[in-house]
Amino acid sequence: MLNQELIARVWHRPATWFRGVLDLPNDSVHKTLIVALAVSLVCSVVVTSTVVLLKPLQQSDVSREKKRNILEVIGMLEDDKNMDVLFHGIETKLVDLASGDYVQVENIDPNSYDPIKATAIPELSSPVPPERDVANIGSREKYAAVYVVKRDDTMDYLILPVRGLGMYSTLHGLLALEADANTIFGFSVYQHAETPGLGGKVDDPKWRALWKGKAIYDESDALRIQVIKGSVDVYKPDAKYEVDGLTGATNTSRGVNNILRYWLGDDGYGPYLKKLRSARG
């Protein structure tokens, strides 16, 4: 009884005020402003709640997409199989790009680490000096997340994320290497906005197939892989370091070449790959 009385008293003022607003003529400035305010308040609550509620779903979508791209570049994607099961033997590791060592960093979970977000955090990235910014990335993360595909505790493949400017857009790709850390097993560009039929051919399976078996470094550890203009002369001794450029898309081809030269060079995965190759002897 007391509760009901209390509620009635608490609600008396707002209810009277609300009735007062409803009684105002429809063309009154006050009523218009109050209704507009109420509608925008309701809308912002709906939008905010939707964003908050959908965030876990969105994150799980991003993680699934990432796994899909990784499995795809090593030819392990099977549409009818559970992605997590397929991903089971793949370990995500953090690499300190400057030293080339695997690291564990406090507060960074390699599985959810986002290198692109890291480039916006001064402690986790540094600007790339323009004269060294071959791939036009602007800022480079301190740590990279790499994917190690293992079987019976030995590495089968290594997958390295790469990115950089094509002609019109940033190309995001994955480079899969064999256990020698030198032979390319596969290359994919899974995100770009180049022109379909021209630069967009970076994701053409026929062009992608040309990368398999190509070598990155020569015997003296010099970075040799390159996308050339035109077709590779397969009889040349250097053919194993060369990939055909995309016809009619010289700029995108040059972009891919720059991306690989940056990420496989000293400022990218160079120190890491060198350590892996030395460890194999």
Ligand X SMILES: Cc1cc2nc3c(=O)[nH]c(=O)nc-3n(C[C@H](O)[C@H](O)[C@H](O)COP(=O)(O)O)c2cc1C
Residues 228 and 34: their CA atoms lie apart, in Å, by: 66
Find the binder of ligand X among 86, 124, 155, 198 (CB under 6 A).
Answer: 198
Contacts to ligand X from residues 206-265, by CB under 6 A: 247-252
Contacts to ligand X from residues 9-28, by CB under 6 A: none
Find the binder of ligand X among 156, 195, 271, 274 (CB under 6 A).
Answer: 195
Identity of the residue, 102 or 168, whose beta carbon is nearer to ligand X in the bound complex: 168
Shortest separation between residue 244's beta carbon and ligand X, angstroms? 11
Find the binder of ligand X among 133, 194, 242, 267 (CB under 6 A).
Answer: 194
First to last CA, the chain: 86
Cα 19 to Cα 22, 33, 250, distances in angstroms: 5, 16, 70
Q: Which residues sit opposite 148 in a β-bridge? A: 91, 158
Is 73 a residue that touches ligand X (CB under 6 A)? no
Is 199 a residue that touches ligand X (CB under 6 A)? yes
Identity of the residue, 137 or 167, whose beta carbon is nearer to ligand X in the bound complex: 167
Residues 196 and 208: their CA atoms lie apart, in Å, by: 16
Is 164 a residue that touches ligand X (CB under 6 A)? no
CA dihedral of 255, 258, 264, 270, whole degrees rounded to 10: -150
Is 97 a residue that touches ligand X (CB under 6 A)? no
- Taking CB atoms, the residue at the shortest distance from ligand X is 199
The secondary structure of residue 81, as a DSSP letter, is: S
DSSP states along 172-200: EEEEEEETTSSBEEEEEEEE--PPTTTGG
**Of 141, 147, 93, 142, the residue nearest 116 (C-alpha):** 141
Identity of the residue, 183 or 251, whose beta carbon is nearer to ligand X in the bound complex: 251
Is 167 a residue that touches ligand X (CB under 6 A)? yes
Identity of the residue, 119 or 252, whose beta carbon is nearer to ligand X in the bound complex: 252
The footprint of ligand X (CB under 6 A) covers 167-168, 194-195, 198-199, 247-252
